[in-house]
Amino acid sequence: MDGASNGGMLYHEVQESKLCAVHCVNTVLQGPFFSEFDLAALASDLDLRERQMMLEGTDGGGRGEGGVSAATDGDFLTQDSHNVSLDGDFSIQVLEKALQVWDLQVIPLNSPAAEPAQFDPESENAFICHLQDHWFCIRKVNGEWYNFDSLYAAPQQLSRFYLSAYLDSLKGFGWSIFIVRGNFPRECPISSAEAPSSYGQWFSPEDAERISKSRNETWDPVGRIDQTDQMVSQIEDADLKAAIAASLMDAGPSKPDAPSVSSKDESPNNEQKK
């Protein structure tokens, strides 16, 4: 019988600025696999490809005087990114691209391909949830379900019998929900020294439960978003905005698909930080 993933530990990241998309991706993967700069590079690559597709779509039929495409007059072909904002909010396309690096697929819960999960969510392994620029994941780890919302101090365990009602509540409040499918990494191959971000912490299930109870944190599907906005307004994020802007300017068509993280083929590093 296979042992527990990551030695039975839970990986969780606490909210930093508006980097909930980074936290969401990393908790899906259960390790510090991506930084905001990795996702910004992916966003820049997506922007470039989308602009090229728009230009190719108008080539020959949408050119105005001087041979300039009429599409360049639209907002889409401006220099602003459509996949990342300067304060660190990323699009679902960026999250999809990041998870594809690890052979994982993102599927909308309301799509025909996800129909079995609508009746039996317990058969899945991970969900991504989004509302008002906030992302978080619900993930099955070692047979138990946890809410890895970065606004919580630690992962919160969900009863498998409550999972369906929990997802229905999210949908009722207008959250978009996506399934993540594929072969999830069983071990984090990245040591603490190699981690591209430093927002995370490893918890035993017992420590996670103790911290959650001591904080007396309760789930509020709308109020949590307001807390995010208040938190961001209190955080000095000028350096983050400047760094992401620089990353977007520096990124070009030669950007690799995979961020600068350790290869999946490397031997796992089992030393975990608690």
Cβ(155)–Cβ(12) under 8 Å?
Answer: yes
- Can you read off the two tokens belonging to residue 115? 């129909």
Is 129 annotated as catalytic? Answer: no
Is 24 annotated as catalytic? Answer: no
3-state SS, residue 11: strand
Q: Compute CA distances 175 → 16, 131, 207, whole Å.
A: 21, 5, 29
CA atoms within 13 A on the CB side of 205: 14
Q: Find the helix packing angle between 92-100 and 20-29, rounded to 10°.
A: 30
Is 134 annotated as catalytic? Answer: yes
Q: How far apart are CA 33 and CA 101, in angstroms?
A: 11
Q: Catalytic residue, from 38, 45, 47, 149: name it.
A: 149
Phi-psi region of 47 (alpha: psi -120 to 50; beta: other; left: phi over 0): alpha
Q: Catalytic residue, from 47, 130, 134, 137: name it.
A: 134
Q: How far apart are CA 252 and CA 157, in angstroms?
A: 42
Cβ(244)–Cβ(36) under 8 Å?
Answer: yes
Q: How far apart are CA 31 and CA 25, in angstroms?
A: 9
The residues assigned a catalytic role are 20, 134, 149
